[in-house]
């Protein structure tokens, strides 16, 4: 059983004990522990259940590659599933529960899957659960879903905050081990701006565990001195607890900083996402140890040899009292030596290599440890924990030669460079035959905007495994990065370590090499997803030969560790099954992030009220105080209506319509787009932008205009005012201002760049109020200042002046049919002007109205609305707007498009008014049906409603719609089926689209 | 996450400041053109695997449009230049040709 | 082909699964085929399947430059729905959806079609009107959808936040028989069935040239040699423009990246698929428990199968806004695919300037859900030389005539 040792533990502070709770049990650890080391220290070897078979799972690794030891952590608004214990720093009061079991970790009903595992091989669900047809959704799938899924579902909204940082640097170094530090030192010496990020809370990586000397001093001292030196340099930024999570195009990198995961609730943001732009990135991301594939290699207590060593040295925790070491390389001997030195038993080192004579092996022998050469593990004994191993010949089929009692197994299948970040953005790999791993191919790096490589690797991430080689490689990478980022060439010698003599590792993909199918069905490749050697072999046999097919068919490498332990072993097994070399099989694609990063961090501060910017008119606060019900329009929020406390929205809208038609209404029209088009060629330009002839509009006059896309479709409309000889002011829809502005700029900058025209978007410079209704003139005259009489300011004219002391531009235009003035004042005066209008208007029955009343009033008048009568497929001719299309112009945007055969088809649906026979309202979106069905069996349709409202003015339903041959069918009745479920069809008569004040008498006063 | 040099304001702009505006140097056809010319103008696109001449707008920067020559396979940017031109600069075309002799060239 | 069943698994389990045969053959190409289909993605394989099943044409090769199902078929978010607005779209997507209903049985391969329902949220007044219009259109098109009120949305999706301070949920368009399927299995199931009909699936074989004579195609040059054919079908999303270029014609396409991502798996919390077009994101939960998330396309022409991170940020924000409980979940993996987008964002199933050559492309973000319908329509076009009713409106000629099929009318993103 694992336990806390009396000594060792360079990272823990035994004077600072910390209490935590796991599955309801109170446990004790120390400051500096990870949750994993604390669990092991407390004797908890069983920590979870696997995904598919619900097999018992223990801690296997000591870092981000851990596939098993994931827990539900925290409670309430700080609950988080799938938290990796090996990367979770312990804090006092930590609360965790294990995952994926019922009713308990020790007794899990789901383990029944394990007993029938033989009948649940890779891909079994593709071959069954097909009959009866409904059973998949109703029976099988719910079972699959319930038994999958790992962590629990959070119930509450996250209570923590997150933020973004931006950082520009010449050189980014990912990884703060000795390679990263050596590279940083070299890069910083070039004068370049350097940032070093390390995902753990400690500098130095694995080196302090393995020891050795650098530049003549102990490695740990060198690390300390180097960090101190870097800290004192102005051009260096060092960050701990920050992972280089992803590398993207053109030198973009994501830094995921876990600011307060270990100090929850201290007021700091929990995570910080760094958006980094670097000229050069050095990946000093180290290497990950590979497991060995032997039967029972997933039983809790079987761990990576390097991790076993880490737990002793870093945290003073032993994985077991008697640990069998099994390996194919020298490095695992270090683990044996560390265990021995800590007073623990190592009954045997099982080495697959036939004869082992390296210095490390000699040291182990000298320490009294037995080395069994040419041997492998035939089988691990145990269930929820290891009780022993059977030894066999590696070259054989697995007959047990000897059984050895133990409570832990430390395995090493060799090391693989962490190539993830190199690969994220297109870096290519080569297979290293000698060391049996993929490493970055320096000749094919990710390319930046200039077509040159922008990523380098340093140390074991390059494939250098001994300390001496690591330092040499890292120094060279740091110098190269500094120089490529514009620094000066480095001349200082690389840090030095004594060269080590290693005996070559021997690739071992299956142990023993001739293992039977029964054994191969017990050799785990992917611990979390339960993928075994036999599964990969089955995939190959069934023709899933591409590494991507095998991955997807077996789910190898698709778990939350993304195959950090399983990928190389899996593709080696696949290559063997296909009888092809490993590089021909290749790897699956490495995708960001390196380890999972929180959605909270990705979203940053942009949530709730800050999710998107809110654009506010100068009168916005007034609307809020008045209790307006808002609707989002682009980033604006416009009052839909101003309901009184006892009113429904519909009642409020009707009141607003009637009051405006009978007395006086005010609309905040500030969101309307206002674009100034000015210059000697502005008239010519306006004639291209609008379908109408705008160049002839006299100064002082207004004209309603249409704009089309080059594809002929109506895209925006609004009133244009001629300001002076060379200046026009274009009103656009609220949602269209930015789009139309960009559209104008596009044509001016990219097509007619020799035309002398400027466009300015002054939408937010002006507040605009529509003063509407029979009393409109009265209120303006009361405020006084300029002549707004019918004679001086007739319909479709504008004038500058003052009203009530406000500088104003008054447009005599109407979207309601009433007497109406739209008055623009400087934005800074908007609220004051609005208040003045309300005060002066009180005696005239003033009321503000919202967008819905606006819509109804324009529909009563048969005016079209962009977005209702148009949807991107409508040309002006469909809407009977031919009068607004100039026939005098040779060209305007959209003109050529409107000549195409489908655009001049007489069968196009045309706009008409619709009046229901019974006075009801046609539902929004209803279609008019014709006879029969089309070739696809769909009911034939002959039109649809585009705007449909209850008209409080007329006290009945009114609508506009597009109907095939509509204008030729006046008076005819068409059918609109409803969706009320009873087959009700609403009958509507085709009528003129102007329902109210056809002769225009109301506005012409 | 591309970076492109804006030739109008001179900054190296991040993709988040920019808006891609599609293929560059498309000749406009208006009234009087054939159906085929008009169709090609509006819809037919080179969409190459390789060198692409394209329009960008520095929308959250100076607001100006510019042109870029960019590789759609590697995302390398060979150069950016004024939007007020009917064809890419010869020097740019030559530089790309030199780098990719197999490139069919600007047409 | 030996049938898959629970019994077969039991039988093979007894002998440690040593007796399973290959799901599909990987033969050396023959000299000539009646039909060559370029592209062994979902659409290409479905085309082949229905050529065999509906028209008895089985002397067919499906040529794939990489591994079958390795393009967008294997990298999408697996959503299946047919609640489209325009008649031609609704017809082909509903055909596809109905074929998904029986696909597992038709192919004897469990593609795990799960009609768990799809909701498209309305969060603005214009979205309300747009989806009500779609609901009316769908009723007449034979597509079962309904407009639902916020309370019903909450009932179907308990983890949703209806009162987002920025964009409250005002209702939704609900298609109860929409859902998801296992994307890889669709390609594998079709491949196995095609192989069983005697068709040749030739992987790792790249087309390097199109051989022509007198305005007709005579065959293709490939990295595995020249292969002759009577008819050629190009079904290569993401590479359509390139392949058409080899055949000497151009297409109204731009190729852009579309990104997706998944969270770490959690226990079941959301049965249905939710699409939120105002905030621009959509999410479902896979059978493994991962939240499967997507958003809009990247903006620029791109063939790298990777996108820009700020799009991921926007999508994740949108979904935290919609589902606040996901804030503490973690992104496990993000990836990208290349989608071909046409001038009206609807697909092309069409004859080409070459008499015996046909093209199927431009599915944009709607490719996966359409696979069986697309294959059905394409097979008819290839077999008869003329489009049937499903494909009739998707011809290339529509761009000249101005006869577009524009779905952006109803929804900003069409996934």
Q: What is the pLDDT of residues A134-179, one digit of tens each?
A: 888 888 898 888 888 889 999 999 999 999 999 999 999 999 999 9
Judged by CB atoms closer than 8 Å, whether chains meet at B42 and A746 is answered as no
Closest residue to A602, CB basis, from C164, C312, C321: C312
What six digits make up the tokens of C357?
Answer: 């050559």
Closest residue to C301, CB basis, from B1, B35, B72: B72
Query: Is a pLDDT exceeding 60 seen at residue C411?
Result: no
Separation of CA A543 from chain center? 35
Å from A953 to nearest chain B CA? 45
What six digits make up the tokens of A976?
Answer: 């609109």
Chain B residues with CB-CB distance to C312 below 8 A: none
Judged by CB atoms closer than 8 Å, whether chains meet at A449 and B28 is answered as no
Given CB atoms, is C301 within the 8 Å cutoff of chain A?
no
Residue that wins the pLDDT comparison between A679 and C239: A679
Judged by CB atoms closer than 8 Å, whether chains meet at B44 and C255 is answered as no
Chain A residues with CB-CB distance to C266 below 8 A: 81-82, 149-154
Chain B residues with CB-CB distance to A448 below 8 A: 76
How confident is the model over A66-86, as a mean pLDDT?
A: 97
Given CB atoms, is B84 within the 8 Å cutoff of chain A?
yes
Q: How many CB pairs under 8 A join A and B?
A: 68
Å from A653 to nearest chain C CA? 15
* Whole-number Å distance between alpha carbons of A145 and A143: 5
Burial class (CB in 10 A: 0-12, 13-18, 19+), C396: buried
Look up the domain containing B52 and give its range: 3-99
Peptide bond into A593 cis (omega under 30): yes
Here the contacts of A780-789 (C-beta below 8 Å, separation 24 or greater) are A780/A810, A780/A821, A780/A823, A782/A840, A783/A836, A783/A837, A783/A840, A786/A810, A788/A812, A788/A821
Judged by CB atoms closer than 8 Å, whether chains meet at B44 and C302 is answered as no
Going by pLDDT thresholds of 50, 70 and 90, the confidence category of residue A597 is very high
Non-local (6+) Cβ contacts of A284 within 8 A are A173, A174, A175, A176, A177, A179, A180, A183, A457, A458, A459, A461, A474, A477
Closest residue to B3, CB basis, from A250, A710, A895: A250
Residue labelled with tokens 């002398």: A756
Residue length of chain C: 415
A533 contacts A518 by C-beta, under 8 angstroms: no
> Chain C: residue nearest A941 by CA?
C140
Chain C residues with CB-CB distance to A924 below 8 A: 128-129, 132-133
Å from C212 to nearest chain A CA? 32
Three-state helix/strand/coil letters over A640-703: EECCCCCCCHHHHHHHHHHHHHHCEEEEECCCCEEEEEECCCHHHHHHHHECCCCCCCCCCEEE
Which chains, if any, share at least 3 CB pairs under 8 A with chain B? A, C
Å from C248 to nearest chain B CA? 12
Least confident range of A111-125, A402-416, A766-780 = A111-125
* Whole-number Å distance between alpha carbons of A287 and A505: 15
> Chain B: residue nearest C302 by CA?
B72
A326 contacts A292 by C-beta, under 8 angstroms: yes
Region of residue A11 (left: phi > 0; alpha: psi -120 to 50; beta: else): alpha
What six digits make up the tokens of B68?
Answer: 């870029």
How many structural domains does chain B have?
1
Closest residue to B42, CB basis, from A449, A710, A749: A710
Judged by CB atoms closer than 8 Å, whether chains meet at B14 and A899 is answered as no
> Chain C: residue nearest B16 by CA?
C310
* Whole-number Å distance between alpha carbons of A844 and A780: 11
DSSP A363-404: HHHHTT--EEETEEEEEEEESSSEEEEEEEETTSS----EEE
Given CB atoms, is C3 within the 8 Å cutoff of chain A?
no
Q: What angle do CA A381, A385, A390 make, to 5 degrees?
A: 20
Given CB atoms, is C317 within the 8 Å cutoff of chain A?
yes
pLDDT at C410: 52
Chain B residues with CB-CB distance to C254 below 8 A: 22-23, 45, 47
Q: What are the phi and psi torsion angles at C195 (to 5°)? A: -60, -40
Q: In CATH, what number is assigned to the domain containing residue B28?
A: 3.30.2270.10
pLDDT at A607: 87
pLDDT at C393: 98
Judged by CB atoms closer than 8 Å, whether chains meet at B43 and C241 is answered as no
Judged by CB atoms closer than 8 Å, whether chains meet at A598 and C203 is answered as no
Chain A residues with CB-CB distance to B77 below 8 A: 449-450
Closest residue to A451, CB basis, from B14, B63, B76: B76
Closest residue to C331, CB basis, from A81, A150, A597: A597
What six digits make up the tokens of C115?
Answer: 């009609």
* Whole-number Å distance between alpha carbons of C27 and A466: 47
Given CB atoms, is C399 within the 8 Å cutoff of chain B?
yes
Closest residue to A148, CB basis, from C16, C167, C288: C288
Query: Is a pLDDT exceeding 70 seen at residue A806?
Result: yes
C358 contacts C378 by C-beta, under 8 angstroms: yes
B95, part of any domain: yes
Query: Is a pLDDT exceeding 70 seen at residue A916?
Result: yes
Query: Is a pLDDT exceeding 60 seen at residue C413?
Result: no
Chain B residues with CB-CB distance to A281 below 8 A: none
Given CB atoms, is C339 within the 8 Å cutoff of chain B?
no
Q: Which residues of A913-944 are buried (b: 16+ CB within 10 A; e: fewer)?
A: bbbbeeeebbbbbbbbbeeeebebebbebbbb
Judged by CB atoms closer than 8 Å, whether chains meet at B76 and A710 is answered as no
Given CB atoms, is C242 within the 8 Å cutoff of chain B?
yes
How confident is the model over A284-294, as a mean pLDDT?
A: 98
Residue labelled with tokens 């990478």: A477
Going by pLDDT thresholds of 50, 70 and 90, the confidence category of residue C245 is confident
DSSP C120-155: EEE-SHHHHHHHHHHHHHHHHHT---EEE-HHHHHH
Chain C residues with CB-CB distance to B74 below 8 A: 304
Judged by CB atoms closer than 8 Å, whether chains meet at C112 and A125 is answered as yes
Give CA separation, A34 vs A31, A62, C394, in Å: 9, 9, 59
DSSP state of A842: G
* Whole-number Å distance between alpha carbons of B26 and A684: 22
What tens digit of pLDDT does each residue of C32-61 get?
A: 999 999 999 999 999 999 999 999 999 999
Given CB atoms, is B34 within the 8 Å cutoff of chain C?
no
pLDDT at A606: 92
What DSSP element (H or E) covers C48?
helix C42-55
Nearest CA-CA partner of A300 in A527, A42, A533 = A527
* Whole-number Å distance between alpha carbons of C189 and A125: 12
- The mean predicted confidence, pLDDT, of chain A is 96
Which chains, if any, share at least 3 CB pairs under 8 A with chain A? B, C
Chain C residues with CB-CB distance to A736 below 8 A: none
Å from A450 to nearest chain B CA? 6
> Chain B: residue nearest C314 by CA?
B16
Which among A711, A750, A760 is the top mutation candidate for probing chain B, defined by the most B β-carbons within 10 Å of its own β-carbon? Answer: A750
What percent of chain A lies above the pLDDT cut of 70?
100
Residue C373, SS3 per DSSP: helix
Judged by CB atoms closer than 8 Å, whether chains meet at C299 and B20 is answered as yes
Chain B residues with CB-CB distance to A450 below 8 A: 76-77
Judged by CB atoms closer than 8 Å, whether chains meet at B3 and A899 is answered as no
Domains and CATH numbers, chain A: 3-110 (3.10.20.440), 162-288+417-484 (3.50.50.60), 291-413 (3.50.50.60), 517-580 (1.10.10.1100), 859-890+905-991 (2.40.30.110)
- The mean predicted confidence, pLDDT, of chain C is 94
B36, part of any domain: yes
pLDDT at A707: 98
Query: Is a pLDDT exceeding 50 seen at residue A264?
Result: yes
Question: Chain B window 40-59: which residues touch A at a Cβ cutoff of 8 Å?
Answer: 42, 55, 57, 59
B107, part of any domain: no
Nearest CA-CA partner of A67 in C332, C287, C328 = C332
B72, part of any domain: yes
What six digits make up the tokens of A468?
Answer: 């001496």
B104, part of any domain: no
Given CB atoms, is C397 within the 8 Å cutoff of chain B?
no
pLDDT at C26: 86
Query: Is a pLDDT exceeding 70 seen at residue A424?
Result: yes
Low-confidence stretches of chain B (pLDDT beneath 50): none
pLDDT at C414: 35
pLDDT at C409: 66
């Amino acid at each position: 059983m694992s336990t806390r040792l009396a000594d060792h533990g360079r990272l823990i502070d035994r004077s600072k004990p910390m209490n935590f709770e796991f599955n309801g049990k109170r446990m004790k650890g120390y400051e500096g522990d990870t949750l994993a080391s604390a669990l092991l220290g407390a004797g908890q070897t069983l920590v979870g259940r696997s995904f598919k078979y619900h097999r018992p799972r223990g801690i296997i690794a000591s870092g981000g590659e851990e596939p098993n030891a994931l827990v539900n952590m925290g409670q309430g608004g700080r609950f988080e599933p799938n938290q990796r214990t090996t990367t979770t720093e312990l804090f006092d009061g930590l609360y965790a529960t294990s995952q994926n079991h019922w009713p308990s970790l020790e007794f899990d009903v789901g383990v029944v899957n394990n007993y029938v595992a033989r009948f649940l091989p890779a891909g079994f669900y593709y071959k069954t659960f097909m009959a009866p047809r409904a059973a998949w959704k109703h029976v099988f799938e719910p079972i699959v879903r319930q038994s999958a899924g790992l962590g629990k579902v959070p119930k509450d909204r996250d209570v923590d905050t997150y933020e973004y940082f931006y950082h520009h640097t010449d050189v980014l170094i990912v990884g703060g081990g000795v390679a990263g530090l050596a590279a940083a030192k070299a890069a910083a010496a070039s004068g370049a701006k350097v940032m070093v990020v390390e995902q753990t809370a400690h500098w130095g990586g694995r080196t302090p565990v393995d020891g050795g000397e650098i530049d003549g001093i102990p490695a740990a001292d060198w690390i300390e001195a180097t960090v101190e030196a870097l800290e004192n340099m102005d051009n260096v930024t060092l960050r701990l607890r920050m992972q280089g999570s992803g590398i993207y195009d053109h030198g973009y990198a994501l830094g995921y900083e876990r600011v307060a995961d270990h100090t929850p609730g201290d007021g700091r943001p929990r995570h910080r996402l760094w958006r980094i732009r670097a000229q050069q990135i050095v990946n000093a991301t180290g290497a990950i140890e590979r497991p060995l594939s032997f039967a029972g290699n997933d039983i809790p207590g079987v761990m990576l040899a390097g991790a076993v060593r880490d737990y002793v040295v870093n945290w003073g925790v032993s994985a077991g009292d008697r640990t069998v070491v099994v390996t194919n390389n020298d490095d695992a001997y270090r683990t044996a030596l560390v265990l021995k030195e800590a007073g623990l038993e190592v009954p045997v080192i099982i080495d697959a290599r036939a004869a082992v004579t390296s210095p490390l092996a000699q040291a182990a022998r000298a320490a009294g440890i037995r080395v069994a050469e040419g041997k492998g593990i035939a089988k691990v004994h145990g269930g929820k924990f290891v009780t022993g191993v059977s030894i066999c010949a590696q070259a054989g089929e697995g007959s047990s030669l000897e059984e050895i009692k133990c409570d832990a197994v430390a395995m090493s299948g060799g090391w693989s460079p962490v190539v993830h970040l190199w690969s994220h953005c297109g870096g290519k790999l080569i297979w290293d035959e000698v060391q049996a791993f993929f490493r970055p191919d320096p000749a094919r790096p990710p390319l930046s905007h200039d077509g040159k490589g922008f990523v380098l690797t340093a140390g074991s991430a390059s494939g250098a495994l001994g300390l001496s080689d690591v330092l040499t490689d890292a120094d060279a990478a740091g110098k190269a990065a500094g120089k490529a980022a514009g620094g000066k060439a480095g001349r200082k010698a690389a840090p030095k370590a004594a060269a080590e003599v290693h005996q070559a590792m021997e690739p071992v993909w299956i142990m023993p090499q001739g293992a039977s199918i029964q054994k191969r069905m017990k050799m785990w490749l992917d611990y979390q997803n339960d993928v075994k050697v036999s599964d990969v072999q089955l995939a190959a046999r069934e023709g899933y030969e591409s590494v991507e097919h095998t991955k997807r068919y077996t789910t190898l490498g698709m778990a939350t560790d993304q195959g950090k332990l399983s990928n190389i072993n899996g593709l080696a097994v696949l290559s063997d099954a296909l009888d092809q070399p490993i590089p021909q099989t290749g790897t699956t694609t490495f995708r960001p992030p390196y380890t999972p990063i929180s959605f909270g961090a990705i979203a940053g501060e942009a949530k709730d009220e800050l999710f998107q910017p809110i654009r506010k008119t100068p009168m916005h606060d007034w609307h809020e105080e008045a209790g307006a019900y808002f609707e989002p329009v682009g980033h604006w929020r416009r009052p839909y209506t101003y309901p009184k406390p006892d009113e429904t929205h519909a009642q409020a809208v009707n009141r607003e319509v009637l009051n405006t038609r009978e007395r006086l209404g005010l609309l905040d029209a500030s969101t309307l787009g206002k674009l100034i088009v000015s210059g000697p060629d502005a008239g010519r330009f306006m004639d291209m932008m609008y379908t109408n002839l705008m160049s002839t509009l006299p100064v002082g006059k207004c004209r309603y205009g249409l704009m089309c896309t080059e594809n002929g479709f109506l895209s925006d409309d609004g009133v244009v005012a001629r300001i002076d000889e060379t200046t026009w002011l274009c009103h656009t829809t609220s949602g269209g201002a930015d789009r139309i502005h960009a559209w104008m700029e596009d044509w001016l900058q990219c097509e007619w760049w020799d035309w002398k025209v400027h466009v300015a978007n002054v939408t937010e410079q002006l507040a605009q109020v529509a003063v509407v209704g029979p009393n409109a003139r009265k209120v303006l005259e009361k405020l006084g200042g300029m002549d707004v009489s019918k004679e001086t300011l007739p319909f479709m004219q504008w004038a500058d002046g003052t009203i009530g002391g406000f500088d104003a531009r008054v447009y005599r235009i109407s979207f309601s049919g009433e007497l109406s003035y739209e008055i623009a004042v400087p934005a800074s005066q908007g609220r004051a002007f609005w208040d003045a209008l309300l005060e002066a208007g009180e005696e005239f029955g003033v009321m503000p109205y919202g967008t819905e009343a606006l819509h109804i009033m324009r529909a009563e008048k048969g005016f079209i609305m962009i977005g209702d009568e148009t949807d991107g497929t409508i040309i002006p001719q469909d809407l009977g707007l031919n009068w607004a299309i100039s026939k005098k112009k040779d060209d305007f945007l959209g003109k050529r498009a409107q000549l195409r055969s489908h655009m001049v088809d007489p069968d196009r649906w045309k706009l008409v008014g619709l009046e229901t026979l019974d006075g009801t309202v046609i539902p929004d979106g209803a279609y008019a049906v014709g006879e029969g069905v089309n070739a696809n069996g769909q009911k034939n349709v002959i039109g649809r409603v585009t705007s449909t409202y209850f008209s409080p003015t007329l006290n009945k339903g009114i609508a506009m719609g597009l109907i095939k041959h509509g204008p030729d069918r006046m008076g005819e009745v068409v059918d609109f089926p409803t969706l009320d479920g009873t087959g009700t069809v609403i009958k509507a008569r085709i009528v003129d689209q102007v329902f109210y004040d056809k002769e225009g008498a109301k506005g012409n006063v | 996450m591309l970076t492109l040099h804006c030739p109008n304001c001179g900054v190296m702009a991040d993709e988040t400041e920019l808006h891609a505006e599609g293929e560059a140097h498309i000749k406009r056809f208006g009234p009087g053109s054939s159906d085929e010319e008009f169709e090609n103008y509006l819809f037919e696109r080179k969409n190459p695997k390789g060198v692409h001449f394209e329009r960008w707008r520095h929308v959250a920067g100076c607001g100006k449009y510019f042109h870029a020559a960019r590789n759609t396979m590697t995302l390398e940017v060979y150069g950016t230049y004024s939007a007020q031109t009917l064809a890419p600069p010869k020097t740019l075309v030559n530089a790309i040709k030199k780098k990719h002799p197999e490139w069919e060239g600007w047409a | 082909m030996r049938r898959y069943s629970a019994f077969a698994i039991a039988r093979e389990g007894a002998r440690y699964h040593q007796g399973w045969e290959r799901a599909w053959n990987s033969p050396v190409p023959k000299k000539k085929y009646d039909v060559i289909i370029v592209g062994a993605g979902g659409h290409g394989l479905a085309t082949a399947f229905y050529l065999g099943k509906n028209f008895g044409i089985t002397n067919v090769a499906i040529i794939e430059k990489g591994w079958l199902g390795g393009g967008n078929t294997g990298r999408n978010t697996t959503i299946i729905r047919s609640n489209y607005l325009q008649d031609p779209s609704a017809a082909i997507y509903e055909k596809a959806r109905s074929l998904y209903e029986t696909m597992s049985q038709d192919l004897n391969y469990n593609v795990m079609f799960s009609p768990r329902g799809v909701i498209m949220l309305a969060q603005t007044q214009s979205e309300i009107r747009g989806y009500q219009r779609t609901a009316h259109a769908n009723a007449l098109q034979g597509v079962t959808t309904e407009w639902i009120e916020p309370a019903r949305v909450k009932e179907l999706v308990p983890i949703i936040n209806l009162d987002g301070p920025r964009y409250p949920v005002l209702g939704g368009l609900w298609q109860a028989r929409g859902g998801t399927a296992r994307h890889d299995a669709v390609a594998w199931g079709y491949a196995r069935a095609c192989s069983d009909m005697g068709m040749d699936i030739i992987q790792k074989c790249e087309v390097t040239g199109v051989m022509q004579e007198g305005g007709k195609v005579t065959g293709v040059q490939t990295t595995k040699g020249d292969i002759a054919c009577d008819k050629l079908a190009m079904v290569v999303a993401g590479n359509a423009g390139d392949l058409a270029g080899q055949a000497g014609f151009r297409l109204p396409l731009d190729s852009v990246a579309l990104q997706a991502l998944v969270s770490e798996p959690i226990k079941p919390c959301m049965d249905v698929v939710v699409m939120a077009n105002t905030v621009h994101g959509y999410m479902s939960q896979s059978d493994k428990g991962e939240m499967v998330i997507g958003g809009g396309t990247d903006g620029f022409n791109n063939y790298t199968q990777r996108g820009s991170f700020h799009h991921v940020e926007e999508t994740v924000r949108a979904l935290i806004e919609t589902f606040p409980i996901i804030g503490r979940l973690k992104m496990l993996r993000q990836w990208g695919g290349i989608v071909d987008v046409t001038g009206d964002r609807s697909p092309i199933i069409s004859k080409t300037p070459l008499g015996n050559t046909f093209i199927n492309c431009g599915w944009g973000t709607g490719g996966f859900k359409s696979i069986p319908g697309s294959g059905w329509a394409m097979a008819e076009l290839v077999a008869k030389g003329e489009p049937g009713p499903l494909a009739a409106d998707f011809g290339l000629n529509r761009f000249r005539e101005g006869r577009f099929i524009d779905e952006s009318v109803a929804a900003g993103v069409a996934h």
